[in-house]
Structure formats: C-alpha cells, structure tokens
Structure 1
C-alpha cells in the first residue's frame, strides 16, 4: 500500500488534481448526479470536500482542512466492507491510528463514517501519508489500489478514462490547460463539449472556489 499512498503526492498537488477533475466533469457532464468527480470548496467551516463516486456503490471522500487531509474509501465488493461479516462493523484497524483532529472531519453523517474499507491520512505536521495497521485476509482486497487509481494523475489519464466512461473524445491540449490551472473560458468549454450550456457550466465552475482561474473571458 506504500506505493499507492505516495502516488497521492503532496496535499496541495492532490487538491489541484481533484479540482481539475471536478472542473472537467462539470464541463463534460451537465447532470450533476452522473458525475464521477466533484469538489465542494466550502463544504463546511474551513473544510473542502472532494468526492469520487462511480454510481455503483463505491466511493472516495477526501477532506481538506487546516489540520491535514483524510481520505476514506469504500469498495462494496471488498471483504473488509462492514456489510461482509456477520456483524455490521468497521474492519479492525482502519481508524485506530487516525489523529482525533482528522477523525473529527468524518463525523458528518453525509460522509458515512462506518461505510469504509480503507482510510489514509496526512496531518499538517507530518511529511508523509499514513495508514492504520490493518490485517487484510489472504486473497482479499480493500479496494484502495483501484479506487486511488480513479484520481487521474495526468491529462492523458483523464482523456483515456473519459473516452471510456463518458464516451467522449476530448481535446488533449485543453485538458492539459485545465490540469495546469489555466483560466477556463467559454471557448474552452465549447471545444471540449459543444452541446454544453456554457453559462451554466461557468456558474458551476465558480462554486469550486477558484473564481480567479475559472471565469469567462472579459
């Protein structure tokens, strides 16, 4: 699991990637409930929330705050699912070593605290990602490898993924610009998805909390 944790990168880099993915999904998918990636910049006081949801019962929640970042994942087919045993309960060790300051981020009922198969965190005073000492049965999988893989690491990864998921062929250069944090213009939106309501897309993009980078051209 060490490799997957380190692939998350620095928290600031991870946040930038998640914002780009949410922005791209806003552009290419007008229906909010069908989007795979989303980001709430002002989800709670001093907290931002990114979500990855495949619509089939699997998800990632990533909460960013002043105390650090905590990521909670759930693979509904995993043997570590709280639904998999005779008694409904969180698999031992998943949350045992999480700092109280970060556990507090998961107390909102919307985050489904008990619906979890793995948890990764990084406190603001730590230099690396952490995970609890979880004993995974031989042949079992906590779902972390493939769920973390849904956070595209590059424009190329996203374009390939979107072709399969949304059945769209996207302009690579425009996707690269968005990954780099460029100003998103009406022309860029139309280039990526000609049928998109541009004004609606721009309004939603502004909710990501990066107004200066995501606004229509003057």
Structure 2
C-alpha cells in the first residue's frame, strides 16, 4: 500500500480523527489507553490528532493554518533512532520538510527525534509529501502500518473496536458519528451500555468533540 495515496485531504482527515477520538472516548474511560485521541487547541492555532497503540508505536498529526504534518514512529523499524549506533534521526526524513511545518514539531511533547517517517502537506498543495529516504533492503518505516490505523469507514472502525476493545458496536451508530451527526446520550449508551453516559457526554463536551 502506498501510504500517501491512502491519506484523505487534511480537512477530511481531521474530521475522521475527531470521529475516532470521540468513539474512543465513549468506549474507554481511561484516557491513556485510548487508541485515537484529538486535542482541539493543542497549541496556538494548532490541533493535534494522535494514534497510540500501547506497544510503543505512534502517529502524531498536527493541523494548522500553514498546513499539516504527521510524524510516525514504529519502534521495531530499522530507521528508529534507537536502532542506530548513535541515537540520531535517519537521513532524509526531515530534510525536505518546509520550515514552517517542521517548526510545529519543536515541542517537548512531540519528541521530534523519535521518528521513522514524516509526511506533510501545505494548504495550497494538491497532495501529501514524504521525504526521500534510502532504506536498507527489507526495511520498513512503519508508515503503511500506522496510516492503516486511520479507519476510513465505519465498518473498519467496528472491526477495530472488536479486536482492540473487544466490543461489538452497532455499525449504524458509528456511521452517524462518522457523518458528523451530533452525539447524543442515547448514542453513547448504544455504543457502550456499561459506561457512565452523562460523564462521557460531559467529557466529550469539554474536549470539544461534540
């Protein structure tokens, strides 16, 4: 799979990540265990989406008025700084990134050096870009794996929830969330009958996910 071809344009991607973050909030009451998350006001003029699989791999997406950038880290990749004799970013990953987007990663919470691939797109661009990186034969930067965790259809998310959270979700309700239908208490209860629906609703409100 070509990871870049699989990516939707930034606004669609942002909506997808908001939907998945809202669903994870409903399905899991422990914030650090959630697979998908979204912070509307992460930094000034910047919102952040994150995929974190709990096994040491992550994908961070930053959306701004200047454009969008994502930094991925596959801890088993040969391109990981931790796999080098001297801890350093693999050559080429950041070389071609526009400075105004690369600067978005200059934040202690991002851990810029923990990276195996970087993808970006200025707002005026018609496609996503990825650095020219020479990889050892048989190496994998983790981009297909991590971008594959952006579930672009309700059916894909339902399968993910079954595998990861061991929950069977009503696909018609997940479809509503994906379509941007305002989440209601009834929808929360249908998705996760065991949760404290009022508390979940308040958390979704406080996170500006509804």
TM-score, normalised relative to structure 1: 0.94
**Alpha-carbon RMSD:** 1.0
CA distance in 2 between partners of 1:199 and 1:46 (Å): 30
**2:4 paired residue number:** 5
- In structure 1, stretches of 5+ residues that fail to align are none
**2:121 paired residue number:** 122
Compute the displacement of 1:206 (Å): 1.8
**2:137 paired residue number:** 138
TM-score, normalised relative to structure 2: 0.98
**2:81 paired residue number:** 82
User: What's the CA shift string for 1:117-165, capped at 9, x where partnerless?
Assistant: 0000001121110011100111010001111000101000000011000
1:197 lines up with 2:196 in the alignment: yes
Compute the displacement of 1:56 (Å): 1.0
SS across alignment from 2:92? coil
Runs of 4+ in structure 1 displaced over 6 angstroms? Answer: none
CA distance in 1 between partners of 2:19 and 2:124 (Å): 26
Compute the displacement of 1:204 (Å): 1.8
CA distance in 2 between partners of 1:8 and 1:105 (Å): 20
Compute the displacement of 1:207 (Å): 3.5
**1:181 paired residue number:** 180
1:6-155 equivalences in 2 (<5 Å): 6-155=5-154
User: What's the CA shift string for 1:84-108, capped at 9, x where partnerless?
Assistant: 0101000000000000000111001
SS across alignment from 1:196? coil
User: What's the CA shift string for 1:52-74, capped at 9, x where partnerless?
Assistant: 00111100000000000000000
SS across alignment from 2:81? coil
